[in-house]
A and B are shown apart, each in its own frame.
Chain A
Amino acid sequence: MTLQPCLSSAVAEKEEDRRVPLLGGRATDSADYLCFDYAARAEAHALVARAVQLAHQALFASSASLRADPFCGLLDLNPGTTPWPDLFNRLTELATLRVDWDPEGAAPPNAEALTSARSFLALLLDAEFAPSSISPSVEEGITFNFRSGPRYAAVEFLNSGEVGFVLSERGKGPVVASIAAEDAGLCDAIKQIHEFI
C-alpha cells in the first residue's frame, strides 16, 4: 500500500475517491480491485495478507531455494511482519466476546462499536499506522491502543456511539477529546496520534 490518506495532505479525502477506488484511479494493489466498499476492501487486504502468509509457509516448508525471495521482492512475505490480519481477526474475536467477559458485568462491544472500529481500522490500514493492540473496554466498547516508550494514546469506540481519544505521557496531564465517528474526525485523530507517538 502506498496510500496514506490520513497522514498525507496531498491526498484528497473525497468520499467518491475512497469508495470507488477503480474509478478514482487510486487502487494500488490486488486487494483494491477485489471490492468497491471501503470497509470490505480493508478486509480484503487482510485476507490477501493472510493468503500470502499461508502461501509463504507452504513454500517455506517445501523449498529452501524459494525461502529468500520467492516473489522477487514484489511482496513482503515474511510471516508476522504485517500486523493487519491479526488486527482484523482481533475485531472478529471481539464480536464474539462472551457476555460474562468482564467480572464486573460490562457489556461486550455492540454492533455500533464494532462497525465504527472496523472503519477506523480500515483508515489505519490505509495510513499504514498499526495500533499496538485492540482491547475490549470495561467502559463497554472497543479501545485501540498505541504505544511508544512512555507515550500512550488510545481511541475508544463506546457502545453508546461516543468516540473519544487520549494522548498521554507519564508525568503530564492527558490530552483528551471527543470526536465524531466519521472519517474526517477519525482521520484527524490518526494524524494527532501519529505526530504524538
Chain B
Amino acid sequence: MTSPPPDRDPHFDPDERLYYAVDPADIEGEGEDRSPNVSSIRFPDLSVNRGKYSSPPEVLVGPRKDWESWYFLVSEVPPTTTFVPKPRTTDTYSFKVEHDPIPDNYAHSEVRAYKNGERHKRGRPVEVRLHFRDHLRQQLKFACGPGNPDAGV
C-alpha cells in the first residue's frame, strides 16, 4: 500500500476508483452481463478502498481472500435523490464518499447516505435502500479475482 499521509484526505477525484470486495457466490451472468447481485451491496454505509491509496487486490484480505475485487468511480456514486414515501413526506437523500482510515487500512472509505442533510444510519424505507444499492450494483466493474490480481484492471 502507498505510504499514507498522516491525516484524512478529503479530496476525491471524480475518476478515482473505489474498490469493493464481492463474494463470487453473489455474482451471476455471462460476459459483459456478469455482475454482482443486489444482495451483496450494503446501505447506508458501504465500505470501500480508495484507489488513490490502494491497489485492487488489497480488498481481498482475511475472510475475503477468495472473493473478487470490483470497483466504481467516485463520479458514479448515486446523485442526490428525492423520494416521496408514504403518505406525504418528501425526503431528500444524498450520498458522499468519505475517507475513513482504519488501523492497517489507510485507504478505507465509506459511501455514506444523508437524509435531508443529516447522516442516515439505518436505512428506511426499503425503496431508498434498493435504489441506492442497485444503482451501485450497476456501476460495479470487475477489477481482479483472487488468483489473477491484474485481470480486469
Q: How large is the interface on A (under 10, 10 to 19, 20 to 34, 35 or more residues)?
A: 20 to 34
Tell me the bound Cα distance from A150 to B33 in angstroms.
5
Tell me the bound Cα distance from A103 to B134 in angstroms.
21
Contact A164 B129, CB 8 Å, known A135-B25, A152-B35: yes
B91–chain A nearest beta-carbon distance, Å = 14
Tell me the bound Cα distance from A137 to B130 in angstroms.
12
A99–chain B nearest beta-carbon distance, Å = 13
B74: Cβ under 8 A from any A Cβ: no
Asked if A177 and B127 make an inter-chain contact with CB atoms under 8 angstroms apart, the answer reads: yes
The A contact surface, by secondary structure, is strand
Which candidate, B4-12, B36-44, B100-108, is the interface stretch facing chain A? Answer: B36-44
A89–chain B nearest beta-carbon distance, Å = 15
Interface residues of B in 122-153 (CB under 8 A from A): 123-127, 129-131, 133-135, 137-138
The B contact surface, by secondary structure, is helix
Asked if A176 and B127 make an inter-chain contact with CB atoms under 8 angstroms apart, the answer reads: yes
Contacts of A163 in B (CB 8 A): 126
Tell me the bound Cα distance from A139 to B43 in angstroms.
7
Contacts of B40 in A (CB 8 A): 135, 138
Choice from A103, A166, A178 contacting B38 with Cβ under 8 Å: A166
Contacts of A132 in B (CB 8 A): 28
Among A103, A163, A177: residue with most chain B CB under 10 A = A103
Tell me the bound Cα distance from A147 to B126 in angstroms.
21
Contacts of A92 in B (CB 8 A): none
Tell me the bound Cα distance from A104 to B62 in angstroms.
12
B121–chain A nearest beta-carbon distance, Å = 14
B75-107 interface bits toward A, Cβ cutoff 8 Å, 1 = contact, 0 = none: 000000000000000000000000000000000
Using CB atoms and an 8 Å cutoff, list the residues of chain B in contact with chain A: 25-26, 28-29, 32-33, 35, 37-43, 47, 62-64, 123-127, 129-131, 133-135, 137-138
